[in-house]
Amino acid sequence: MRDVYIIGVGMTAFGKFLDTGMKQLAAEAVGAALEDAGIPREELAFAAVGNSGWGAYSGQTTIRGQVVLRPLGIGAIPIINVENACACASTALHNAWLYVASGQCEAALALGMEKIYHPEKEKVMQSFIGGTDVEESLKLIAEALQSGQNPHTIFMDIYAREARRHMERYGTTQRQLAVIASKNHHHSTMNPKAQYRVEYSVEEVLADKEVTFPLTRAMCSPIGDGAAAAVVCSGDYLDRLSGARPVKILASILGSGMDRDPDGPHICRRLSEKAYEMAGLGPEDIDVAEVHDATSYAELSACENLGFCAPGEGGPFAETGATALGGKTPINTSGGLESKGHPVGATGLAQVAEIVWQLRGEAGDRQVEGARIGLTQNGGGAIEPEEAAMGIHILAV
């Protein structure tokens, strides 16, 4: 397998864009990535395009990648459409990495895109069951609607249940979850691409509207639209470029959940161990990370399973300030999914863009001083007892 480098990244702002089409969002992200890479689109020999929800709303259930790339003059090349719930974009990057690493091409594109916001919230919330075992989830959705619960995605119930289990087992507190959310909201105030850029104190997070205990609204990711992209290339191709600012992909790992003992290793732990082995590193070597914080509990869980702290210590670890800017291991400097936003099909590559900017020293006020090695963890869907899919990438300069 050959070495692979990210030479360009780009993303749109994340938000609620009812009047902006998917083609326009994709064009902005791809155009920015190509400009950042400093190469023409004709140099691309492969593209992987990740999307989850847009097809269900638009009727464009197939060939989504070809539809959005053709107007950009990107055609003829192999284009793979990938759908892996919230892990669509990291799956797209893994495919692009694999295509280059295996010698199939010299330069490739990974694109993640999403149009999921809709003024009828119930439709949005119900659409998320496609990222679960639908047969089992439909019953839960019907019960929730009949009981008059406020509309929220089934994933909030899943995360809340896991959070309560963690609280019972380790003594984790709701306040510790609020500390994580408050930290991420603060980080987002320095990110012009973030969907929400508003400070929340710990007390304000706790006092916000309850979604499902122990989660309040400020602890949960919003619904939104957006796109993100990356251009990757081989070492031979990189040698032909001038002025490139490459970031090396040390590890690209993709995996799926499985049936296991409740106390067995979580998918995040299993895959991160593979990633660390592939990169020849350990969790202590990671300078900055973007993790899949669809809720603040998800960040706490990822922090433990990635080895940044011991099992059960995620809450106290966050309280020390270790995961904030200036801390031992800054996590979600972008604001994370809770504040930057979570356009499902775009999230994984937005994480990658943030890490690339951090490693290049281009993150502005949220820059992690001396960052040389970064990690992204992007989960997708859920089938008991864990995420259905997950991608983990380790990048370095």
Cα end-to-end span (Å), the chain:
19
Consecutive H or E run containing 26: helix 22-37
pLDDT of residue 363: 98
pLDDT of residue 289: 99
Tell me the two tokens of residue 328: 């031992």
pLDDT tens digits for the chain (397 residues)? 999 999 999 999 999 999 999 999 999 999 999 999 999 999 999 999 999 988 888 889 999 999 999 999 999 999 999 999 999 999 999 999 999 999 999 999 999 999 988 777 766 766 677 777 777 666 666 666 666 655 566 788 889 999 999 999 999 999 999 999 999 999 999 999 999 999 999 999 999 999 999 999 999 999 899 999 999 999 999 999 999 999 999 999 999 999 998 888 999 999 999 999 999 999 999 999 999 999 999 999 999 999 999 999 999 999 999 999 999 999 999 999 999 999 999 999 999 999 999 999 999 999 999 999 999 999 999 888 899 999 999 999 9
Q: 233 catalytic, yes or no?
A: no
For residue 301, which amino acid is it? S
Tell me the two tokens of residue 98: 């694999």
**DSSP label at residue 168:** H
Same CATH topology for 4-118+224-249 and 125-221+251-396?
yes
Superfamily of domain 125-221+251-396, CATH level 4: Thiolase/Chalcone synthase (3.40.47.10)
Distance from C-alpha of 180 to C-alpha of 29, rounded to nearest angstrom: 29
pLDDT of residue 144: 60
Please check whether residue 11 is in contact with residue 30, taking contact to mean a CB–CB distance below 8 angstroms: no
Which has the closest alpha carbon to 221: 194, 257, 246?
194
CA angle 147/150/155 to nearest 5° reads 100
pLDDT of residue 152: 61
Instruction: Indicate which residue of 86, 105, 303, 309 is catalytic.
Output: 86
CATH class in words for 4-118+224-249: alpha beta
Consecutive H or E run containing 394: strand 386-396
State the angle between helix axes of 296-305 and 154-170 in degrees (0 to 180), rounded to the nearest 10. 60
CA angle 327/330/332 to nearest 5° reads 145
Distance from C-alpha of 390 to C-alpha of 378, rounded to nearest angstrom: 6
Residue with tokens 């990189």: 238
Tell me the two tokens of residue 182: 């408050």
Q: 220 catalytic, yes or no?
A: no
Distance from C-alpha of 297 to C-alpha of 152, rounded to nearest angstrom: 16
Distance from C-alpha of 396 to C-alpha of 100, rounded to nearest angstrom: 18
Instruction: Indicate which residue of 94, 152, 342, 393 is catalytic.
Output: 342
pLDDT of residue 143: 65
Distance from C-alpha of 306 to C-alpha of 36, rounded to nearest angstrom: 30
Tell me the two tokens of residue 4: 């692979």
Tell me the two tokens of residue 21: 């089409």
pLDDT of residue 134: 75
Q: 0.85 exceeded by the pTM?
A: yes
Domain chopping of the chain, boundaries: 4-118+224-249, 125-221+251-396
Which has the closest alpha carbon to 327: 384, 284, 287?
287
Distance from C-alpha of 199 to C-alpha of 359, rounded to nearest angstrom: 25
Residue with tokens 């790339």: 69
Which has the closest alpha carbon to 179: 219, 150, 147?
219
Widest distance between CA atoms in the chain:
63
pLDDT of residue 278: 98
